[in-house]
Amino acid sequence: MNNSSISSILEKEKLNGNNFLDWYRNLRIVLRAEQKFYHLEEALPEAPAANATAAVRNAYTHRCNEQQEVACLMLASMIPELQKNLENLAAFDMLRELKVMFEQQAKQELLDTVKSFHACKQEEGQSVRLSGPDGPTGISHASDPWSELDTYLTVEGL
């Protein structure tokens, strides 16, 4: 990865089994900055035929190398127990496996977020948004219901 300062986001809090949505949000930030986000959305294509042009073979090799960089970044940003289970997977497959592993956690976080949102009361003439450090509803920006819902929907592919 080229931009070590942006990659440091993932070093601050490794994926540990309890923080998938936060980790995934940070991973998306890093990969967008590195222009490698598509590796999470697309599996590596089939290797080109032996008679493919040098340009096609080189493009495939470049994509394989980038996919490997993304997979290594993902592995480096998780606890050893998770690394052991995922170390032989490509980035796309690794994320698919993580989504299956943490699907229930994501659903519970969504449920908690929706409950928090429904507990909010809008004062007449005020927009429904967080304004202060703890917002008018007492919900901190760190647990902003909209960002958590957006993350969940992204994880679910909706």
What's the whole-number mean pLDDT along residues 35-47? Answer: 92
Q: Where on the phi/psi map is residue 65: left (φ > 0), alpha (ψ -120 to 50), or beta?
A: alpha
Specify the residue for token string 């901190």.
140
**Residue-wise pLDDT tens digits, 115-150:** 887 777 666 666 655 544 555 544 444 555 556 556
The whole-angstrom separation of Cα 135 and Cα 131 is 5
**Residue-wise pLDDT tens digits, 73-90:** 999 999 999 999 999 999
The whole-angstrom separation of Cα 87 and Cα 72 is 8
Side chain identity at residue 56, one-letter code:
V
Domain ranges of the chain: 4-156
What's the whole-number mean pLDDT along residues 2-10? Answer: 71
pLDDT at 132: 47
- Count of residues making up the chain: 158
